[in-house]
């Protein structure tokens, strides 16, 4: 994958997240600055999703810890094969919100 495609995929992912939060009416603020997407919850806790261009990875940090994802078989997955979306749903739950992607 080239860097242009990588950035497109990450931005599509961020857009999906923003749209789902809006559609579900969740009280979560989304801010994208450069290579970082920050999701801030009512209690000021955060989920951070950032681009790691050098590695062509998407990183997720939350109360559950940090995880790295590569785009494999048309999906962001950990080295163990777990989906980005599974991790994100679990992270939202840990931050007190229910969401399903």
Q: What is the CATH number of the domain that holds 65?
A: 3.30.920.10
pTM above 0.75?
A: yes
Report pLDDT digits (tens) over 32-46: 999 999 999 999 999
How far, CA to CA in Å, does 25 sit from each of 65, 73, 87?
A: 26, 31, 20
Please say whether the beta carbons of 37 and 62 come within 8 A.
no
CA pair distance 40, 71, nearest whole angstrom:
25
Containing structural domain, residue 10: 3-95
For residue 100, being part of any structural domain is answered with: no
For residue 101, being part of any structural domain is answered with: no
Report pLDDT digits (tens) over 1-43: 899 999 999 999 999 999 999 999 999 999 999 999 999 999 9
| Number of CB atoms found within 10 A of residue 51's CB | 22
For residue 38, being part of any structural domain is answered with: yes
Sort strands 75-77 and 46-52 into parallel, antiparallel or unpaired. unpaired
How many domains in the chain?
1
């Amino acid at each position: 994958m080239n860097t242009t495609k990588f950035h497109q995929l990450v931005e599509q992912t961020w857009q999906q997240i923003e749209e789902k939060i809006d559609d579900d009416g969740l009280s979560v603020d989304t801010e994208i600055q450069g290579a970082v997407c920050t999701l801030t919850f009512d209690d000021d806790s955060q989920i951070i999703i950032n681009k790691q261009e050098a590695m062509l990875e998407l990183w997720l940090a939350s109360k559950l810890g940090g995880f790295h994802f590569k785009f494999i078989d048309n999906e962001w997955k950990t080295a163990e094969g777990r989906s980005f979306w599974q991790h994100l749903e679990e992270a939202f739950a840990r931050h007190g919100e229910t969401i399903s992607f």
